[in-house]
Structure 1
Amino acid sequence: MSEQFQVQFNYQSELVEGIRVVPLSRKRTLKEHINRLEVETSLQFTKIGEAIFSITKNIKICGYLKDAQSLKALEGATVLGEVESTISASNGFFEIAVSSLEEEITISFLGFKTIQEKALLFDSDNCSNVEMYQQEMQISSIVVEGYIVRGIDKNRDGTTTIDFSKFTSLPGLIETDVLQTVKALPGVQSVDETVSNINIRGGSHDQNLILWDGIKMYQSGHFFGLISSFNPQITKTATVITNGTDVSYTDGVSGTIQMNTHDRIQKEFDGSVGLNFISADVFADLPIGQNSSLQVAARRSVDDVVRTPTYDTYFERVTQQTEIDSNIESVLNSNQNFSFYDTSLRWLYHPSENDRLRFNFILINNDLSFDETSTANKTLESRKSSLSQYSIAAGLSYEREWNDQFSTHFNAYNTDYKLQAVNANILEEQLFAQENSVSETGVSLKGTYKWEYLSLDVGYQFVESEVVNQNDVDVPRFLRRDSEILREHAIFTQMQFQNKDRSIFLRPGVRFNYINKFDIFLIEPRVSLSKKLGTDFQIEMLGELKHQNTSQIINFQNDFLGVEKRRWQLADNENIPILRSKQASLGLQYEDNGWLVDATGYYKEVDGITSQSQSFTTKYEFEKATGSYNIVGVDVLLRKQVQKISSWISYSYMVNEYTFEEFEENQFPSNFDTTHSVTLGTTYSNDVVNISTGLNYRTGKPTSVPLLGNEIERGEVNFDTVNDSRVEDYIRADISALYKLKLSRGLRSELGASIWNVFNTDNVINNFYRINAENTVDKFSRSALGLTTNFMVRLKF
């Protein structure tokens, strides 16, 4: 052929060894000859000159990328050759053509060590597994996978992580509501069933540090706490810390809930739309080139389009025993409207393999309004009362890996929260306006140096917090505005060690805090230690000292129409002390053959609480005092997994006691003392169906009752011994089901239904008492949700 067409072929001699072809007809053209040779030999002929062709072999390599630890498929990894590139599929599969077996292949995936190997080292015939190792594999985090159900994992440092990409379901939930899911963990309760009153090991909600991608959030719920205000479609993981907290965190004397979006850059468009009986939402993850992606999520209530039974049940639950629910006889309430929305945005950019830049934004809003109408001087008058609650926050973080050992992490955020209410007293022709706002800015920088089994963190953090409380009355004119600002500096350091066989994990650290307004210096040591005992047992010891500068005032009847009863306040180191806590715990775990037993005993003490932050509704409701509480408790979890079924029972016992030296009775049970708490649940899950049922029981919360036979004294309710009684015990059964259906390639659907409180049990969450016009005492009770159904449909594409 060379002589016939006067062309030259360049190739390596071993490339054509053993290749035989049928002689070609001389009548064919050069192009026809080359096409036939490429088909019969799998060789590739490339014209590189006027009459010169190079001959190469078109070699393909393939494989399935897996996480070396969990063997989970890695989707979206980048595979680069010298000429071609590709992205791994959802099952981790990749295939790429190379010019020779000596060609170098680079495989990279965020959070994993980059692979750089020659093509000849890949099994191109069988497409075998290619395992990738996490960057910090030497300090592995997960110790128990599927702690309760799949997607909830217990970590070696004592924390618990919920990964919603792997999550199945929990009883009564059809959406991956972040904070409702957190309440399923042992030791986490809510005495009034809301996500805006989460009690971690007996603490009040304001003692929880809630972070969304490193941004501190002062608002956690829609519908004033019945559902989370964090969109579950963009919030991918949540980590709960009860003790042994990482020293880079401040605040949260009771616990920390840290939520995060995905770290991975999306290579292909991903999105969803969803609708349930409360809200509609939309989510999109958009790739922007090879090194950047943008996530956008939005959610809005549907009440202005359709008023569902679920919405009505929620609305009645929120407004019961408030001015919105029932006004005085001569005033008629009408046009009650409530709506909410949230918007979240995340932009992720990787300028290089070693640099990661992230920007986050979140907007949360609740609006409630109603008309008050009355006849005055034979004239019908109407005025509008309203309540709005919103948060707007943004954060920026930058991570850089300078080399295999040293990395830095910079984070900055600003968060603003505002709660406003206008209460129109139509009979007195008076407007009463209230406002509570928080504005906070935080900056931190951390450096990490790693050795084979050891890492060292050193960092600095600055936080400036401003809290404003304002009351404004037009007739008679009254205006009071209180504004406080605190600035705090901190440096911290901690070491993390794990031995070669990963049987010992140790993380000691210390945080040095300085509050310049009070000229106070606080030292806070913290430690997390775990040790494997054989193959099935593990012992865990945790301890910490922490402090907190913000807390809440709670007034059930007078603040913000009685609906949102919490206003934030800053410590003044006099009437409002700095909260300080100390905690120690000892735990033992046993895991074998699908069985898990996890038992943890703990002691916790928090000093500097105010009585106004502790949800008193009976005795001492209007008193002001400072004190402390201490808790001795035990959390136990028993779980069994059999193939696709996970069943569990958890039990929590606590003795939670206040000390208020200024009160007549200076020691008594805490308002959050749910002495006994039991949860049972079973979940069945496969690739198509998730079904979950459960039962929740806990001791009724302490309360005070009027003294029998002497209920009124000096014009006030005369209470018997404080917290000497309890409301009725709480019991609730739930069920939920989720069905997943693949409609076509790239289009999936989910259908879900749930029943909350299946037996419609009337669970009283608290009582209060008022003197009526006949000079007798009336008892009022607030109840938790009754039987509540919900339905969800979602399309993913």
Structure 2
Amino acid sequence: MINKYNFFVIIVIFFNIFKSYCQEKLPLQEVLIDVEKRFQCNFSYANEDVNTVLVIPPDTELNFVDTIKYLENNTNLVFNTLESKFITIISKEVSKILICGIIRDFETNEPLQNVTIKTSETFIISNFKGYFELDQVKANDSVYVRHLGYNPLLKSVDQFKKRGCETLYLLPKTEELETIIIENYLTQGINKTTEGSLYINYDQFGILPGLIENDALQTIQTLPGINSFDETVTNINIRGGTHDQNLITWNGIKMYQSGHFFSYISAFDPNLIHTTTLIKNGTPASLTDGVSGSIQMQSKNARSSEFGASIGVNFINVDGSIDIPLGKKASLQISGRRSYNDILETRTYQNYFEKAFQNTEVVSNESNVIEASDNFRFFDIGTVLLYDVTPNDKVKASLIAMDNNFSFLESAFINNEEQSRESSSTQRNLGGSITYQRNWNEELSTTIEFYGVTYRLRAENVDILNDQKLTQENKVLESGIKVISDLTLKEGLYLHSGYEFVETGVSNLEETDSPFSRLFGKDLIRKHAVFTQIDYTPWRGSHLKGGIRLNYIDPFEEFIFAPRIHFNQRLSNRFIIDVAGEFKNQTMTQTIDFQSDFLGVEKRRWILSNQNEVPILKSKQGSLGLTYKNKSWLCNIETYIKNVDGIVAQSQEFRNQYERSQAIGSYQIAGIDFILNKKIHQFSGWLSYSYADNNYTFKTLQEDTFPSNLNIRHIIALGANYNEKGFKVSAGLNWRTGKPTTRPVPGNEVIDNRINYQPVNSKVLSEYLRFDASVTYDFNVTNTVKMHTGFSIWNLTNQQSELSNYYEFTDINFPQEVIQNALELTTNAVIKVSF
């Protein structure tokens, strides 16, 4: 008698037998295409070996190894895995032949030795002439060629059989890019990586509203969570933080100056920037500082084999660049820019000048001053040397210098005699770095980075009517060395570890001549750090990065642990989830004194932590994101919370009752970043939205908790671009709620000769709105000469938005509101010739 259990077993067996007989066999080529998509691998085979083979598709629950075994057991074929991503398929019985070849560098045509040439059954190494020879190779096999620093190559033996001794060219790897999970995040060339960072490749860059050149610091302001409330590149706020909380580097050099031209263009020449990486959370353990975010700019890493040059001009400056091959192993790039307003003042220059100096003595002279004139200029120059000492040893040396110089001449009648005095402000940054990379073998490489930078801001501000001169100077001198080891433990598991030492000295001088007084301070901090990080890809569509950094701060004798983590998981072909968190710290911040402000050109001074009035900044951040991507649609939403402790009130730009406060506190922010993107052929349109609730906590102030000065609650951006055969056009709008402000109490504005303010940041300014548009056209003049042209309009509708405000006493001892307005309608154009 059959019981229930036996009956169930019989049914299951019958069902599986029925299923196996009923399941349809498919052509092997179709099955291989599906397997390639599932496991992101590549098959190499001769069509005649597989085009008649039928097979039942393997179970989708099988892993990669079991899938390959299944296919081999169910076909009369041999599957050989040359590398994890390359599998050759050959018949079991085929003829064998001899093949030979010469391996050369694609760019230099030089022969390459020690190249590995591998088939399914054997391998060999090329000699000093790049030559190799393999005997008894199956005629339907494939040849896999690999070499450190070059992209691998896969060719069929059949090509050798037809052509004889083959010359094979290997293309040098120009970059070790992180895996891209979202392409064209906002426009072409902006991608999101498995590391959680946003990666901008300017070789592939499209166009954004109001931009006609690849200004890195302007570009990132179009991304959700990034804002500049005063429209400059020297006041970039990443998720509610101040500009000094951003780590900005170029070729590994930490930069203390970031802006030119009254802070409206970045101090980094677009000709010297190949990629920009923006990190908002989950920072690699090898990086420190930047408690709000990191902006890493890099020039190209591949040496040039051909001469190239360019020259361009826009309404602000002229620029030139030259790229020179130095033999077969090195190349040198030199690029520079200079403003020309001392020769010709364009309307663009005048708009920037009026915007930068509104409400300052430069444009608001006292009535007794009979004449005033100004002179402003900037320049920058950079050079990069790339030297491939050997295929396994590479050197990159970089140098950058930038200068802003402003002078202001006043004339007045004093004691019936005309006198003239000149005020001036100079800002200079000089930095250099050397990076040496050694590839010991396929699993281990070492990188040594050294950099040095010096920054100087000096102003002499003359009060001609009172015959008094105020001198201010801020200097930073910093050097650092970093050693990084990259080890491949196994496929999909990598270990990054290293050591870093940084020494930073900062000095500040303030001196008046009548009556004479002098204040000078100098501080020095040395930081040691060890760090380690694991990058792990446990399975397809999953990536985990976890690391820890141990910092030692001298002279405070303080150890600080800084863990970081980022996890990325593809839930399906359409959904991706991101989880990130980090602890960070920094020992440098900026202080602001509006009463003596370097003529208004740059009012912030760098200062070091001292554990008393200026503590070490420490941040904690966590975020959770979800991405939906389906064909032409992209939707990404990310929520985050962040806390930064140790901020100084004087670094927050208070213009109310707390302007001179020395209080120490923190800010807490919770927010959402959202983007929706739609692509239709050459057209792309997007909508981005950011929400933030940002609040201060200062326990020693009368109001211990209140909205942050950067508490801009809602930000919306709409944009679109079109790209067709060198023609690019883009337009968009930016809207946001007003910046917080503190107003006097109505009807009781003054008490004891002081402004009587309402609760701090209890009001907001009017909404901000700006329309921008830009168009560029690239075309070939000849086979060797290319032309880039462009035109842009900033604030197309000439909207008079209020950026910020403050109050000061007038002659009648009544608080008068002073408003800083946005930049008015401003145009720019560019012409650049490359050859």
TM-score normalised to structure 1 length = 0.86
Q: Which residue identity is paired with 1:399?
A: Q
Q: Which residue identity is paired with 1:495?
A: I
Per-residue CA deviation, residues 308-358 of structure 1 (Å, 9 max, x unaligned), is 100111111111111111122212452211100000000010111111101
Shift of 1:619: 3.2
Given candidates 586, 589, 594, the residue that maps to 2:632 is 594
Given candidates 673, 676, 679, the residue that maps to 1:635 is 673
Cα distance 1:124–1:185, how it changes in 2: closer, same or farther (>3 A)?
farther
Shift of 1:78: 5.0
The 5 A counterparts of 1:353-372 are 353-372=391-410
| Corresponding residue of 1:467 | 506
- Structure 2: gaps (5+ residues): 1-98, 114-128, 138-142
2:491 corresponds to 1:452: yes
Per-residue CA deviation, residues 543-586 of structure 1 (Å, 9 max, x unaligned), is 00000100001223422123311111100111101000000000
Contact 1:346 1:359 in 2 (8 A): yes
2:576 corresponds to 1:528: no
Q: Which residue identity is paired with 2:311?
A: V
Q: Which residue identity is paired with 2:271?
A: Q
Moved over 3 A (4+): 59-63, 74-82, 97-125, 127-137
| CA distance in 2 between partners of 1:545 and 1:134 (Å) | 33
Q: Could you say what secondary structure the match of 1:529 adopts?
A: strand
Q: Could you say what secondary structure the match of 1:170 adopts?
A: coil
Contact 1:213 1:260 in 2 (8 A): yes
| CA distance in 1 between partners of 2:572 and 2:372 (Å) | 67
| CA distance in 2 between partners of 1:339 and 1:77 (Å) | 42
2:431 corresponds to 1:393: yes
| CA distance in 1 between partners of 2:697 and 2:808 (Å) | 26
| Corresponding residue of 1:613 | 651
Q: Could you say what secondary structure the match of 2:348 adopts?
A: helix
Q: Percent identity?
A: 40
Given candidates 509, 533, 556, the residue that maps to 2:547 is 509
Per-residue CA deviation, residues 241-270 of structure 1 (Å, 9 max, x unaligned), is 000000000100000000000000100012
Shift of 1:305: 2.2
Q: Which residue identity is paired with 1:165?
A: D
| CA distance in 2 between partners of 1:635 and 1:141 (Å) | 22
Shift of 1:121: 4.3
Given candidates 668, 677, 690, the residue that maps to 2:706 is 668
The 5 A counterparts of 1:554-703 are 554-703=592-741
Given candidates 515, 523, 528, the residue that maps to 1:489 is 528
| CA distance in 2 between partners of 1:675 and 1:128 (Å) | 62
| Corresponding residue of 1:434 | 472
Q: Could you say what secondary structure the match of 1:318 adopts?
A: helix
Per-residue CA deviation, residues 654-676 of structure 1 (Å, 9 max, x unaligned), is 10000011111111111111100
| Corresponding residue of 2:117 | none
| Corresponding residue of 1:171 | 209
2:351 corresponds to 1:310: no
| CA distance in 2 between partners of 1:220 and 1:185 (Å) | 19
Shift of 1:113: 3.7
2:270 corresponds to 1:232: yes
TM-score normalised to structure 2 length = 0.82
2:279 corresponds to 1:279: no
| CA distance in 1 between partners of 2:175 and 2:689 (Å) | 34
2:290 corresponds to 1:241: no
Shift of 1:81: 7.9
| CA distance in 2 between partners of 1:787 and 1:565 (Å) | 26
| CA distance in 1 between partners of 2:312 and 2:144 (Å) | 39
The 5 A counterparts of 1:715-734 are 715-734=753-772
| CA distance in 1 between partners of 2:778 and 2:551 (Å) | 50
Q: Could you say what secondary structure the match of 1:225 adopts?
A: coil
Cα distance 1:485–1:81, how it changes in 2: closer, same or farther (>3 A)?
closer
Q: Which residue identity is paired with 1:493?
A: T
Q: Could you say what secondary structure the match of 1:297 adopts?
A: strand
| CA distance in 2 between partners of 1:111 and 1:554 (Å) | 48
Cα distance 1:342–1:528, how it changes in 2: closer, same or farther (>3 A)?
same
Shift of 1:143: 0.7
Per-residue CA deviation, residues 355-412 of structure 1 (Å, 9 max, x unaligned), is 1101100001001111111101110000100011110001111011000000001001
Contact 2:482 2:499 in 1 (8 A): yes
Q: Which residue identity is paired with 1:360?
A: S
Cα distance 1:528–1:364, how it changes in 2: closer, same or farther (>3 A)?
same
- Structure 1: gaps (5+ residues): 1-58, 66-73, 83-96
Shift of 1:136: 9.8
The 5 A counterparts of 1:303-342 are 303-342=341-380
Q: Which residue identity is paired with 2:699?
A: E
Cα distance 1:715–1:438, how it changes in 2: closer, same or farther (>3 A)?
same
Contact 2:149 2:391 in 1 (8 A): no
Q: Could you say what secondary structure the match of 1:233 adopts?
A: helix
Shift of 1:208: 0.2
Shift of 1:302: 1.3
| Corresponding residue of 1:478 | 517
Q: Could you say what secondary structure the match of 2:770 adopts?
A: strand
| CA distance in 1 between partners of 2:106 and 2:215 (Å) | 25
Shift of 1:778: 1.0
Contact 1:272 1:282 in 2 (8 A): yes
| CA distance in 2 between partners of 1:77 and 1:568 (Å) | 46
| Corresponding residue of 2:775 | 737
Q: Which residue identity is paired with 1:214?
A: G
Per-residue CA deviation, residues 492-551 of structure 1 (Å, 9 max, x unaligned), is 0010011352x1100100000111211111011100100110111110000000001000
Contact 1:494 1:510 in 2 (8 A): yes
Q: Could you say what secondary structure the match of 2:272 adopts?
A: coil
Per-residue CA deviation, residues 475-499 of structure 1 (Å, 9 max, x unaligned), is 2111111100001100000100113
Cα distance 1:135–1:357, how it changes in 2: closer, same or farther (>3 A)?
closer
Q: Could you say what secondary structure the match of 2:271 adopts?
A: coil
Shift of 1:593: 1.0
Contact 1:102 1:120 in 2 (8 A): no
Per-residue CA deviation, residues 681-718 of structure 1 (Å, 9 max, x unaligned), is 10111332010001001111101001111111121211
Contact 2:655 2:806 in 1 (8 A): yes
Per-residue CA deviation, residues 202-233 of structure 1 (Å, 9 max, x unaligned), is 10000000010100000100023110000001
Q: Could you say what secondary structure the match of 1:243 adopts?
A: coil
| Corresponding residue of 1:704 | 742
Contact 1:280 1:302 in 2 (8 A): yes
Per-residue CA deviation, residues 97-138 of structure 1 (Å, 9 max, x unaligned), is 99999799998898544559899746988x99999797998x
Shift of 1:795: 0.3
Cα distance 1:303–1:60, how it changes in 2: closer, same or farther (>3 A)?
farther
Q: Could you say what secondary structure the match of 1:744 adopts?
A: coil
Shift of 1:646: 1.1
| CA distance in 1 between partners of 2:130 and 2:558 (Å) | 65
2:252 corresponds to 1:252: no
Contact 2:373 2:409 in 1 (8 A): yes
2:339 corresponds to 1:301: yes
| Corresponding residue of 2:200 | 162
| CA distance in 1 between partners of 2:175 and 2:341 (Å) | 47
Per-residue CA deviation, residues 624-645 of structure 1 (Å, 9 max, x unaligned), is 2110000110000100111111
RMSD between superposed Cα atoms in Å: 2.8
Q: Could you say what secondary structure the match of 2:186 adopts?
A: coil
| Corresponding residue of 1:17 | none
With 754-763 and 425-434 compared, the bigger mean Cα shift is at 425-434
With 191-200 and 612-621 compared, the bigger mean Cα shift is at 612-621
| CA distance in 1 between partners of 2:161 and 2:592 (Å) | 66
